[in-house]
Amino acid sequence: MGNQATCNSQDYAGISETEAKLLQNVFAGLASRSPGRTMDKKTFLEYFDFQGMFGERIFKAFDIKKNDLIDLEEFMTGIARFLNGSQTEKTQLLFQMFDLHSNDQVDLEELRTMLYSMLKHEGLKSSVSRQASGVASNPNISVDVSTPIKKTTTNSNEGTSLPDQKKPLTLNIDPNDGKDWDPLPSPGKPKEFVEAEKVDDMVRSTLDSQREDPETMMAENLIEHTLTNYAKGKDYLTFREFQDWIQGTPQILRCMEFQFRAHVFKKGIKPRAGHLRKRGKTFKNMVTRYCVVQDGFLYQFRSDEQMQTSNPQNAIFLKGLRVKAGTSKADIQNHGITLESDVLSRTFYARTAEEKKMWLGWLTVESKTETLEDEYKRGEKVGEGRFANVFRCQHKMTGRDYAVKVIDKSKIDDADKEGLRAEIAILRMAIHPFIVSMKKVYETKTEIFIVMEWLEHGDLFKEIVRRKFFKEDAARHVIQQLCSAIRYCHLRGIVHKDIKPENILVERLDDPYIRIFVTDFGLSQFARPREEMKDAAGSVAYMAPEMIDDATFTKAVDVWGIGVITFVLLSGGLPFYDSDEVKLMDKIVGTPVSFANPRFKNVTEEAKDFIRRTLEKDPKKRLTISQAMGHAWLQQMDAIIPLVRKKSIVPTHQSQR
């Protein structure tokens, strides 16, 4: 533990002295990955594997000191609160997580964002869909969903009507525990959601693509019906009302408990163990340790006997560490194995060459840091950006082509690193037919590699240049897909912030139709429903007025980008243009959209109305993404679109930054 501070178990309810010491070792291993003796957000989210807004909010719940770092005290306090708190304490934590705007209330939009974010975690999705299926298939089951939330009459000083149950923290948690959750009511959704999803289903059917897997679709239905009925007639919930809602929807709290227990105390693969040597910290002499690789950690004991009776002397969190054979003469002679990150380097020595090979295999599997060259053959460069190049590559085993974005770490600052972390986190959780698919991420000391699906027909900008403009039915089909992708993001608290043709890749079908894939989430971020963001960036021609004229902006900027692209598709030109950037910004802010371009003579009034309402200057009056997708223009489908792919006739391109 070195100079790492220690904590007494009595400070943390339900945690024994033995468990406290183990958790301190775990924390030391995690903190060694960050500067100082604290854990940064990247390491926290890698360890717990919580994704999206759900992960962001859990980090904030741990970050009591609000400095974007977790120290030992915060780590231990958070573990105790999440695992051993009373029902009231856990509900308070959940309320804090769901209260995205920190105003001591939770509105339906905040509830929706958090619940959709939690859908990525299998505990909620599988349980809700299974319970919903049981309700739907059994005619003898009747669920009363007509009762709205009632205000509690309990005095605020009298505690809660929920039972005050505590569970001891154990190191042998069964991740399957808690799957038998209570059912939610039967499905039902607000009108604007129904209209939007009709369009979603329609456009996906033309491309032979389901909206989501059946479990996710059923879980989404249940979420919407739960929100509609449990919060009937209310714009927001106070803590007491939220507490009643949780009492009527217990699987939400159980999902959080299940996910947390499953990640804190994992039951992974069978441990691998044996002896390794290392240099002592003080005298630098060679000492032998009994080492165990299990559940993402390398645990070190003084001996195999000690492993049976006490906690490890040290623990190293392996995920993301680079594992390699030592290259110096001494390392080669002593069978050295190096574990390193940007802030950590540890070398261990095996007893024989065979054992060295065995340990390299074990550690590489747990670190999940195979190299790009292990699996892919890199080909020609197809794109270049400020700090990244994009190459075509081929999977060695399958022969399938992919694109790999190669980021030079020496060219990115702290802001770029946070943007890159968010981009990878978004791509990891975003599974959607109109969003580019990320296959894998690799990292070396100098570079980061993001492997994505290969799309050989280039981007939408090149497609517009090739065609001059799109016929209305083909343009509508593109916008239906784009709205589907952005709606998926907004429901999960993701704002793209840089919607433009260059960030949309295409796959050609039979003329005049294409399939699109939204890409380049480098400027994107997780945002609360009404969060006012700063630091506008992107191409001026596609920026919303509030990004230019105001200090802050909201997710409504994505809808503006959709409006600009709609105008460009139908006319071949921008709605606002000037070669002088300052004059261009003035036009975006102050000039009404005009349909003077002759190509709009044959465009329907529904299409023009869609453009007007998505290019509304006032973001509060602009269509939301669900309203845009439910617009009359997008509810039409003029033709059955054949599922035929065309060969590439334009230069290859993949988005890069």
Long-range contacts of 344-352 (CB under 8 A, 24+ apart): 344/32, 344/33, 346/278, 346/316, 347/278, 347/279, 348/276, 348/277, 348/278, 348/291, 349/276, 349/277, 349/278, 349/286, 350/276, 350/277, 351/275, 351/277
Class of domain 372-453: alpha beta
For residues 303-324, one letter each, b for 16 or more C-beta atoms within 10 angstroms of the residue's C-beta and e for the rest, the string is eeeebeeebbebbbbbbbbbbb
Q: What band does 230 get if pLDDT is binned at 50, 70 and 90?
A: low
CATH superfamily of this structure's domain 9-128+144-152+184-264: EF-hand (1.10.238.10)
Percent of the chain at pLDDT > 90 equals: 37
- Whether the bond between 35 and the residue before it is cis, its omega within 30 degrees of 0, is no
The phi, psi pair for 518, rounded to 5°, reads -70, 135
Domain range annotation of the chain: 9-128+144-152+184-264, 272-367, 372-453, 460-635
Among residues 391, 34, 427, the alpha carbon closest in space to that of 419 is found at: 427
Least reliable range by pLDDT among 2-16, 253-267, 392-406, 477-491: 2-16
Residue 104 designated active-site: no
CA distance 502 to 461: 5
Least reliable range by pLDDT among 57-71, 107-121, 258-272, 451-465: 258-272
Asked whether residue 405 is marked as a ligand-binding residue, the answer is yes
State which of 189-198, 302-311, 363-372, 433-442 shows the largest mean pLDDT.
433-442
- Choosing among 2.130.10.10, 1.10.10.10, 3.10.350.10, 2.30.29.30, the CATH entry for 272-367 is 2.30.29.30
| Given the residues 40, 200, 498, 558, the one annotated as active site | 498
**Fold exhibited by the domain 460-635:** Transferase(Phosphotransferase); domain 1 (1.10.510)
pTM of the model: 0.76
**Could you give the angle at the alpha carbon of 193 between the alpha carbons of 191 and 198, nearest 5°?**
100
pLDDT above 80: residue 441? yes
Q: What is the pLDDT of residues 580-638, one digit of tens each?
A: 999 999 999 999 999 999 999 999 999 999 999 999 999 999 999 999 999 999 988 75
**Could you give the angle at the alpha carbon of 160 between the alpha carbons of 159 and 161, nearest 5°?**
140
